[in-house]
Amino acid sequence: MTPLHFWFEFASTYSYPAAMRIERISRAAGVPLVWRPFLLGPIFRAQGWNDSPFNIYPAKGRYMWRDLERICGREGIPFRRPSRFPQNGLLAARVVCLASSEPWLPDFVRAVYRANFAEDRDISDPQVIVGILESLVQKAGDVIERAGSSENKERLRLQEEEAIRLGIFGAPTCMVGEEMFWGNDRLEDAIAFARGSSVVGGSTVR
């Protein structure tokens, strides 16, 4: 079965419902899931934006917040509009790079997203990330320290380079091989593609 690579950014609004749903639906479909954190900042700056497009274009931003509220309501995902947007998810992304194969990783990802989009907490604050880690692992402080090592910082830089190479321009983005699915609205399509493409030996399914 072709794995689904789930590219996400902790600051990204539509990544929130997607991150809360992706493990459940990929597991139900038998599609292997790979969590791929990255940062939108460098990608947005390359497009000439020094802020979220939802802040730069207020009409689009107003719509997005209402749309996100509707989506979360429908999916039963808690939501409270954060007072800070976008937040800096660098530390949390580094933890994900460090812990990509740990069994607690999906819980960590979801807890950070909840802190941002349901609890209005400051996810750039190391104490907030430590608090989340302490509920999941022994020696949370060690995890934070290793997340900040040069070797691990390099892991996130390489992820970023790969995101750019793949042509990723927003989050969340699901990649199944070279096939791209952008947005929370496309999770089910990405899963169907991963299942279909395995059935027909990797060729595209339309």
Kindly tell me which residue out of 34, 45, 55, 63 binds a copy of itself, with binding defined by CB under 8 A. Answer: 63
Alpha carbons 60 and 131: distance in angstroms, whole number: 34
State which of positions 166-185 bind a copy of itself (CB under 8 A). Answer: 167-170, 180, 182, 185
Q: How far is the CB of 86 from a copy of itself (least distance, A)?
A: 18
Candidates 4, 20, 29, 3; CA nearest to 115 is 20
Decide: is 165 part of the binding site for a copy of itself (CB under 8 A): no
Decide: is 60 part of the binding site for a copy of itself (CB under 8 A): yes
Q: Is 101 helix (H, G, I), strand (E, B) or coil?
A: coil
State which of positions 74-93 bind a copy of itself (CB under 8 A). Answer: 74
Decide: is 200 part of the binding site for a copy of itself (CB under 8 A): no
CA 2 to mean position of chain CA atoms: 20
Candidates 160, 72, 168; CA nearest to 116 is 72
Decide: is 70 part of the binding site for a copy of itself (CB under 8 A): yes
CB 172 within 8 A of CB 11: no
Decide: is 55 part of the binding site for a copy of itself (CB under 8 A): no
Q: How far is the CB of 173 from a copy of itself (least distance, A)?
A: 9
Burial code (b: 16+ CB inside 10 Å, e: under 16) for 75-101 equals: eebebeebeebbbbbbbbbbbbbbbee
Site residues (vs a copy of itself, CB under 8 A): 47, 57, 59-60, 62-63, 66-67, 69-70, 73-74, 167-170, 180, 182, 185-186, 189, 206
